[in-house]
A and B are shown apart, each in its own frame.
Chain A
């Protein structure tokens, strides 16, 4: 079993829909990261969080340490949100362990 599990693997939505991507992990962590990988391949860090909730524009990330679960929400989705979203967990060191990613396609 992978340390980091994401669901769903693939997600197709219509423009304007509310999107939720889930991440579950099995180890103790110091932080959890959400990354975005565009079709061109570049990777951008969206959030790093260790508790509670963070918001940036239309993106919201939450984490429940007790349940070892995090969610990434996108409100009012847009075709430019189409990308692969990757969850990664960080333990006591700087090493990141990655989920396999969720491929999101938002249709106009």
Chain B
């Protein structure tokens, strides 16, 4: 398997624009996670899914953020409208089942100007 695949790797957008980040987990993995990493706050969990169902979205900062997992092989994280404070690296990760090691994608570096 190619691992967890994220796209795009880099995104630069203007404040107010909609941004969509994409993730393809490892085939057969039941859990998918979205994390955000900033210098100030480090890594934080935004939301995670189990078998395509959102389980914990308590880390989603506000209503501007939404995440979907329409099937086992694809998830999106959308920010609308984007703000400069959303600038960060967003990681997607997947695990095979409960309490297993996580496999991370390469991340999407988002810059909102």
Q: Which residues of A contact B (CB under 8 A)?
A: 30-31, 33, 35, 41-45, 48, 86, 88, 90, 93-101
Contact = CB atoms under 8 A, between A and B. Distances in A.
A45 B103 contact: yes
Nearest to B40: A100
Contact of A99 (B42, B48, B56, B104): B42
Given A42-B106, A42-B107, A48 B100 contact: yes
Contacts of B31: 94
Interface of B: 31, 33, 42-45, 48, 50, 55-56, 89, 91, 93, 95, 98-104, 106-107, 109
A93 B101 contact: no
Contacts of B102: 33, 45, 96
B45 A96 contact: yes
A86 B43 contact: yes
A98 B42 contact: yes
B104 A94 contact: no
A45 B101 contact: yes
Contacts of B101: 33, 45, 48
B42 A95 contact: no
Contacts of A86: 42-43
A88 B99 CA distance: 13
B43 A98 contact: yes
